[in-house]
Structure 1
Amino acid sequence: MRTQIIFTVDIDSLPSEGGSFDAPVAVAHPSMLVSQDNGASTSHDGDYQVPVPQEEQIQIWLEDVSRRPSIVIAPVRFIAHTWKDGDGVKTFVTGTPTNPDTQINVLGDDKPLSLPSFMERHAEEYGFDYAATQPLWADDSAPFTAYWKDGGVMAGQDGQATMPRIHNPYVTFDIGNSAGLLNYGLEFAVYVNGNSRGYFWFDPYINVRS
């Protein structure tokens, strides 16, 4: 089971100068597309608390709203802020909790999510390699009504599907077997034509249902 969250970022609306890796600039929650188990994507505003079942794999990436190939948006830091279950709000810590009534150890056995990983390949994404022979214009003696089949320029018929292909850089992690509301911070870097625009962050939600 997998949920994919795609934040669509309008980089033209971002501050003209981003921050540094350790001091990113806070921005409004961007809109998102959510897809579960390779189903159709649904659109939501940035405050939407994405509902997911327990023991779900989560994949999160960011795209330029206009999908310009000159723009790369890469997640670079994932911070687990708070976890709200039936007992109330609990703050994440990376060591032994100093107060077990209010904190959860993300390294312990009782953790609501696994350690996130940063990747750039989607194993389920396929590409297509065209045949090496380049096409020629078809003979113009074919009747106009047959152009759909016999005219124009056709790709070679011995092309091959490939996997995996390079996809947007993304962060992925597994949800545990606890239900609750996860508030997390996502820091991302923006590059335009290979040049850095700086670092930014926002703090969305995932709602883990029982």
Structure 2
Amino acid sequence: MLNLGILISGRGSNMESILKSIKRKKIPINPAIVISNKQDARGLEIARKLGIKTEVIESKDFKGSRWEYDKKIISVLEKHGVTPKNGLVCLAGFMRIISPEFVKKYKNRIINIHPALLPAFPGLDAQKQAIEYGSKYSGCTVHFVDSGVDTGPIILQSVVKIKKGDTEKTLSKRILAKEHQAYPEAIRLFAEKKIKISGRKTIID
């Protein structure tokens, strides 16, 4: 069975939805470790209550390169069996850009979720960008991580209609509800080996 490592920085609501789906046996994967780059991340306590091991690799005062920091992350992942051959790494509100070396080592084994319909509105404040642009629809995208920002092959997308009078807060809330469905589903597809990558496209079996 695959081993799962989840990287968080805050409350980790997507992490929680993933872990609960695993507990309900909807995803055939072993939740091996949750790693936070912040000591006070609320998601750490949620993970512990769900019986998942946690570790903190504080990034606040780290002076080295991104790769030097990521090597610390990788050492913890590998210690818990989340390897490039038998692991999957999920970014769940992890507020760091990971290094190209990390991406290369775990090629097509790191996935992320973004609160927009990529390739529209990558980067920060995607919900605000969508409203200000006048988009009629937004949503979320689960994608593989590559060396760009929100540019990896798309696995799943879920659409949310933007309502008249929507604010960043109200739209974000509705998108988050879709994220909690899409992310566990994408992990299930990966764990069941139903995703194939062809160029920058994914093919779902």
Do they fold alike, i.e. is TM over 0.5?
no
Structure index of larger Rg: 1
The two structures have a TM-score, normalised by structure 1, of 0.27
Between Structure 1 and Structure 2, the one with more strand by share is: 1
